[in-house]
Amino acid sequence: MAFDLATVGDNCIDRYLPPVGLSTVGGNAVNVAVHLRAHGHRVAYYGAVGDDGNGLRTVALLGETSVDIAHVTVVPQGRTATTDIACGPKGARTFVHEDFGVARGYRPDDGDVAELCRKRHVHIGWLDDGGALRRTLSGRGVSVSQDLSINLGSAHIGAEGLAVAFAAGTDAEAEAEARIAAILAAGARIAVITLGAAGAIACDGRTVARRGIVPTAVVDTLGAGDTFIAGFLDAHLRGGELGRCLEAGRDAAAITCTHYGGFPQPTVPMD
């Protein structure tokens, strides 16, 4: 089977601190991959795990979702990334501690890059490569998206060359519009800003679309943004106009808010 979409970058074990006391497999690149697969796309994931129990769990679960795991790098004696999360009211969460483990410094090798250059679309998650992969892929004409809100520093993110740039904003519309203008000016073709309870805005330089949220009984907001990205990309790749893409992302994200973790999976007690 040919896998025409790919995601690259982070994976982690999300550890919900007590009183929840559960753990799930997640990370932006992993969550987007799983949801794109659920939308019916053939998706490959490129990233690194350790050869520890968390790494084995991550690879096994991805395989069960039918995401292609042939390009996952398993690092001997490596430590799979973990994120400790405190849960607040109405599903709010705070990242208490992040251990990036072998995700830090991961780079797809030359063979992987060559394959990525043949993909229909590539989504880049957390990747501390100074933007090198984004520039390489966009320079080869590959359609690329990235979440500009998840990396540690500005050196690793940039809008230039992106087909779709995602970012999280506040509920102040004027601030969101300024952010969109800056992202488009920096070279993205489409800018999408999620505004939490205020919905989302997308613009391609000609058309501006706005959509509100779907009222939802929220359990956990973790991974909802990643689910939104996958829903938006699915509609976009199918030729949907901006408003429809926002609705697709919104509706998918609302479902993710009803369970723990970035996608449906067996939860495991936090160790």
The per-residue pLDDT for 173 is 74
Q: Which helix (H) or strand (E) element contains residue 83?
A: strand 82-87
Q: How many Å is the Cα radius of gyration of the chain?
A: 17
- Under-50 pLDDT residues of the chain: 1
The SS3 call for residue 16 is strand
* DSSP H helices in the chain: 28-38, 53-64, 110-116, 132-139, 173-185, 224-237, 242-256
pTM of the complete model? 0.96
The per-residue pLDDT for 174 is 77
The per-residue pLDDT for 227 is 98
224-237 and 242-256 are packed helices; what angle lies between their axes, rounded to 10 degrees? Answer: 150
pLDDT digits (tens, 9 = 90+) for 81-133: 999 999 887 777 889 999 999 999 999 999 999 999 999 999 999 999 999 99
CA–CA separation, 3 and 29 (whole Å): 16
The per-residue pLDDT for 171 is 66
Residues 6+ away with beta carbon under 8 Å from 233: 32, 36, 121, 123, 145, 164
The per-residue pLDDT for 3 is 65
User: What number of CA atoms fall less than 13 Å from residue 125's CA on the CB side?
Assistant: 30
CA–CA separation, 113 and 115 (whole Å): 5
Helix-, strand-, coil-residue percentages of the chain, each rounded to 5: 35, 25, 40
The per-residue pLDDT for 1 is 44
- Six-digit token string for 223: 């991974």
Give the chain's largest Cα–Cα span. 51
User: Which top CATH class is 5-269?
Assistant: alpha beta
CB atoms within 10 A of CB 157: 23
Phi–psi pair at 162, nearest 5 degrees: -75, 135
The per-residue pLDDT for 162 is 98
